Amino acid sequence: MKIAIVGCTGLVGSVILKVLRELKLPITSLLPVASEKSIGKEIWFNDQSIKIIGIEEALQEKPAMAIFSAGGTISKKWAKPFAENGITVIDNSSAWRMDEDVPLLVPEINGHLLTPNDKIIANPNCSTIQMVLALKNIYEKFGLKRIVVSTYQSVSGTGAAAVEQMNNERKDNFNKKVYPHQIDLNCFPHGGDFLPNGYTSEELKLVNETRKIFNDETIQVSATVVRIPVIGGHSEAVNVETHKPFDIKEIKDALINTNGIVIQDLPDENLYPMPLTAHEKNEVFVGRIRRDDTIENGFNLWIVADNLRKGAATNTVQIAAHLIENNLV
């Protein structure tokens, strides 16, 4: 199968190439695509050197699938031309996520809804993916009334320039800034753009995408996004209120039986999820599972995942694998 990777030289694009190798998708021809400054350079994939091409050339090559990870502007401009040529597009940006005609996909949750007619498929926001995957079986068994989530997000979620800013600050170089403040030895409650209602665009992604993935507009979600000086992954403190009563063992069992979830919940042994141990892993890690005694049907979780893996590249490649396995491309 011929697959194009648009944005192959970026943070997420490079991890997509790693995950494609690890999951051994049946790729007969890879088309690495990047901006003009990278055209003609070479990448190494499956023991061969492949030249990077431009997006127009990739369209002319008519791959079966194109994975977009080059930002919303590129996706808005090029996803439809690819789709109109019969190419299935899996998009990592926010450009298509809330389009009512575009599936917003976490394969373990709603992959069964895909059809061969879905030519543009959106990958959710990194923080949304890890949270909804952890809540999948709980939603199905007990319903979700309300979620209050605070995220503690890695600088890699902003991009390579943010990682560079933090690393420079650790060398006492404060000249080049992506963020409005120093990030090393600091944290700030600011992800995305501030909106008139006081929330940020990153916080509203958690609200709107959660409802779309579960196809349930009644779920109440309140989110706070915090940027922290780590590279390895995003962490979330999640407080959940369900519609139905539960025993806390039932919550743990629901998590244990969710594909892609790993329980790390032995506080007496100091075992709980951390970005350091989630780094470069494809799974979502859950711990600190405990009842919230302040409300009738409430509990708390601590959820951690590598935002470049399950939060982006891994989920994208899993969508591609699902399409192939179910003969949808």
Which active-site residues does the annotation give? Answer: 126, 234
Q: 4 and 67 in contact (C-beta within 8 Å)?
A: yes
DSSP 53: B
| φ and ψ at residue 152, rounded to 5 degrees | -125, 95
Maximum Cα interatomic distance, the chain, rounded to a whole number of Å:
61
DSSP secondary structure string for all residues of 15-32 = HHHHHHHHHT---SEEEE
**Contact between 1 and 324 (Cβ < 8 Å):** yes
User: For residue 213, which amino acid is it?
Assistant: I
Sequence-distant (≥ 6) Cβ neighbours of residue 239 within 8 angstroms: 147, 148, 149, 292, 298, 299, 300
Structure-token match 């990278």, residue found = 38
In the chain, count H helices and then E strands: 10, 13
